[in-house]
Amino acid sequence: MKRLVIADHQRIIREGLKALLANSDSCEVVAEASDDMEAIRCVEQYKPDLLLLNLSGPVPGGMSLIQEVKRRFPATKILALSMHESEEFIMEGLQQGVDGYCLKDCGGAELSTAIERVLAGKTYLSPGIAERVLDGFMHERRGSRGQSSLESLTRREKEVLKLIGEGYQTKKIAQFLLISPKTVEKHRSNIIKKLDIHTASRLTVYAIEKGLTHLRAKVAV
C-alpha cells in the first residue's frame, strides 16, 4: 500500500481528497498538512511515496516547498493540483521537480490515474494542459539551444532517452537494452549534461516533443 500526504491550506479540500481516495486499494492517506512547515514535518515523519500538493493557494504551494521536498526527500513523488493553467506557472513547477500536474477541476477518475502513473515513476499532465506545455517547451528549446541538442546524443543515449520518456526506470531500461544499470545511469548523466535538463519530468517532455516516444501531446504524459 502506497503512502500519501495531502497538503492544502483549505480543510474542505483536504477532506474531499481523502474521501475520494478512501476506497483505494493501492494507496492510503497517512497525514495531511495545512502549511509548508507542517507539510515538511509530515514528509519527514511518514516518508510518503507521494505528496499531493495544492499549488493554487498561498500556503502550502510555494515553489520553495517543492524544492525543499525534492532536496531532502528525493524518493517522495509530488503530484500538484492547481487552478492555474498558465504556461509559465506550469513550467516552473516542472522545472522545480513536480512529477505530475492536475487541474483542480479534474474528476476522481483522472486523479486516480494521475496518482497511479506518478507512483509508477511516470510523468502526468492533465490532457487540457499537456499540449500547451509542450508548445511552450518547444519554443524555449528553439530559442535557447536551436535544433542541435538532440543531434548531440549518441544512438544509445537516444534509446535511453526514449525509454525514459515512456516512463521506464533504470532497471527496466537496462533489461530492455541488455546493459547494466550502471551503464544506463552513465548514459542518463551524459544526456542531462548535453541537454541541460535536470529532472525526469522535463526529460519526458523533451522526449515527447522530439517524437522519440509513442506518446502525444493530447494525452497525459
Q: How confident is the model at residue 116 (pLDDT cuts 50, 70, 90)?
A: very high
Among 111-120, 133-142, 144-153, 190-199, the range of highest mean pLDDT? 111-120
Element housing 53 (H / E) = strand 50-54
Q: Average pLDDT, whole number, for the chain?
A: 82
Which pLDDT does position 16 carry in this prediction? 92
Q: Do 2-121 and 147-209 come out as alike in CATH topology? A: no
2-121: CATH number: 3.40.50.2300
Q: Calculate mean pLDDT across residues 146-167.
A: 81
Out of 40-44, 97-101, 175-179, 206-210, which region has the weakest mean confidence (pLDDT)? 206-210
CATH topology for 147-209 is Arc Repressor Mutant, subunit A (1.10.10)
So where are the chain's domains?
Answer: 2-121, 147-209
Strand partners, 51: 5, 78
Burial class (CB in 10 A: 0-12, 13-18, 19+), 54: buried
Query: Structure pTM?
Result: 0.62
What angle in degrees, to the nearest 10, is found between the helix axes of 87-96 and 200-209? 130
Which pLDDT does position 131 carry in this prediction? 62
